[in-house]
Amino acid sequence: AQSVTQLGSHVSVSEGALVLLRCNYSSSVPPYLFWYVQYPNQGLQLLLKYTSAATLVKGINGFEAEFKKSETSFHLTKPSAHMSDAAEYFCAVSGETSGSRLTFGEGTQLTVNP
Amino acid sequence: NAGVTQTPKFQVLKTGQSMTLQCAQDMNHNSMYWYRQDPGMGLRLIYYSASEGTTDKGEVPNGYNVSRLNKREFSLRLESAAPSQTSVYFCASSEGQGPYYGYTFGSGTRLTVV
């Protein structure tokens, strides 16, 4: 079985500051990892995904994430926050034993202060 | 360019009433899913359909039934609604059954059971 833990249900940063959203995974098989973003009253949108091709994955809107097997982590970063980045972010995992089913973390609400 | 379409967007039910949430995708995806989203709990899988003609239980199936009507449509039925089923419901689809595809989400149905 796979699971993910997102550290920090709320993160607050200033506009222009580094964004760091933490995700740790647990998996008995090689994981596939995803970050999704949810803007208010909308569905989830894929930011990026790790599928073992490269450990540093670049996504949309300037976000990137690095897969670190030794730390079982897949943290999401962005060098400079914009007001428009304010949203809820979800980490998710799948694996060969779960097929296409994703298991989601509890989410991190990102606030960007002017 | 519709993607995944969910209807209705909002619904209020009385305890004991029944209703069906509709979901349709136009991307020729094979797999479809129903999740519920509750504050602080992330998204939890209710039911999924790996391919046309198949359905399986997810993490929280009690009180729900599903129908994969054809490749495009996957409906979720609440036979006797309970206040505990107040939630936001998301339908999603993925291209195939492998663990690396990720999902495309609908915009959600906000259900309140009073």
- The radius of gyration computed from the CA coordinates of chain B, to the nearest angstrom, equals 13
A108 has a chain B CB within 8 A of its CB: no
pLDDT tens digits, B28-86: 999 999 999 998 889 999 999 998 889 999 999 999 999 998 999 999 999 999 999 99
What does each of the 114 residues of chain A score in pLDDT, given as a tens digit? Answer: 789 999 999 999 999 999 999 999 998 888 899 999 999 989 999 999 998 878 999 999 999 999 999 999 999 999 999 999 999 999 999 887 777 789 999 999 999 999
**Which chain B residues contact residue A34 at CB under 8 A?**
102
The answer to whether the beta carbons of residues B71 and B94 sit under 8 Å apart is no
Cα–Cα distance measured from residue A109 to residue B29, given in angstroms and rounded to the nearest whole number: 30
**Which chain B residues contact residue A54 at CB under 8 A?**
none
pLDDT tens digits, B4-35: 999 999 999 999 999 999 999 999 999 999 99
Q: Name the token pair of B84.
A: 């505990």
Collapse the DSSP code of B84 into the 3-class scheme (helix H, G, I; strand E, B; otherwise coil) and give the result: helix
Which pLDDT belongs to residue B1? Answer: 63
Give first-to-last CA distance, chain A, whole Å: 41
| A to B CB pairs, distance under 8 Å | 65
**Which chain B residues contact residue A43 at CB under 8 A?**
4, 90, 105-108
Cα–Cα distance measured from residue B48 to residue B70, given in angstroms and rounded to the nearest whole number: 14
